[in-house]
């Protein structure tokens, strides 16, 4: 259980930092990609009818994607890949 808690806690930290760094890297290098993701984030932010910064929503989206990938890899490598995902 400690392995699972440590992995998931570390995943939140790493995925959040990685997503924020990726957003800052994408802005100047791939502006079309950033504007696409930012537009998607703006639509998601409008769903909540709250004053959410689209950049924060973009970071949260990417962090969630990274965390999902982390979870799949955790399941495959730690718990064994022979079970159904």
pTM over 0.75: no
Q: Distances in Å between the alpha carbon of 44 and those of 10, 21, 38, 51?
A: 26, 21, 10, 11
Q: Around Cβ 85, how many Cβ atoms within 10 Å?
A: 7
Q: Is the predicted pLDDT of residue 80 greater than 50, yes or no?
A: yes
Share of residues in the chain with pLDDT > 70 (%) = 87
Between the two ends of the chain, the Cα-to-Cα distance in Å is 19
| pLDDT score at 32 | 92
């Amino acid at each position: 259980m400690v392995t699972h808690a440590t992995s998931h806690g570390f995943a939140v930290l790493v995925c959040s930092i990685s997503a924020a760094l990726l957003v800052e890297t994408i802005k100047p290098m791939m502006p079309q990609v950033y504007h696409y993701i930012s537009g998607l984030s703006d639509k998601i932010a409008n769903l909540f009818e709250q004053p959410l910064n689209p950049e924060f929503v973009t970071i949260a989206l990417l962090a969630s994607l990274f965390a999902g990938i982390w979870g799949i890899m955790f399941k495959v490598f730690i718990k064994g890949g022979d079970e159904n995902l």
